[in-house]
């Protein structure tokens, strides 16, 4: 798989900004605002943790997809695209995690 699906999803999420919140789940998230989007991300992260603890690989994949999806909703709400996250991951590639963390400004 490549990043095409992320670009396609980002385009759909952008389109949903102008749709009727009664007709689109994503539009309803945008309409309810940042706190609702952040709450959904927290819920999905918790569900992923529980799935990971449970050991059902299919459930882990499902919950990870939900977390990624809602994270992308936040990116779109903030006017950011997935290419920026991919670029950051690329920047970190090959770096020690300890090195990378130490290089960040506090």
Tokens 């690329």, residue? Answer: 90
1-26, pLDDT tens digit by residue?
A: 566 899 999 999 999 999 999 999 99
Gap between the Cα atoms of 30 and 21, Å rounded: 8
- Name the pTM for this structure: 0.87
Tokens 């309810």, residue? Answer: 32
The set of residues, in sequence order, having a beta carbon less than 8 Å from that of 57 and lying 6+ positions away, is: none
Q: What is the DSSP string of 34-77?
A: HHHHHHHHHHHHHHHHHHHHHT-HHHHHHHHHHHHHHHHHHHHH
43-67, pLDDT tens digit by residue?
A: 999 999 999 999 999 999 999 999 9
Mean pLDDT score, 23-40: 98
């Amino acid at each position: 798989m490549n990043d095409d699906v992320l670009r396609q999803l980002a385009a759909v999420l952008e389109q949903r900004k102008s749709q009727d919140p009664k007709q689109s789940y994503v539009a309803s998230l945008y309409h309810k605002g940042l706190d609702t989007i952040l709450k959904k991300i927290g819920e999905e992260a918790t569900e992923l943790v529980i799935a990971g603890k449970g050991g059902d690989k299919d459930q882990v994949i499902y919950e990870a997809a939900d977390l990624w999806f809602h994270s992308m909703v936040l990116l779109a709400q903030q006017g950011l695209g997935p290419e920026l996250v991919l670029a950051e991951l690329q920047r970190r590639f090959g770096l020690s995690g300890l090195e990378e963390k130490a290089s960040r400004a506090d």
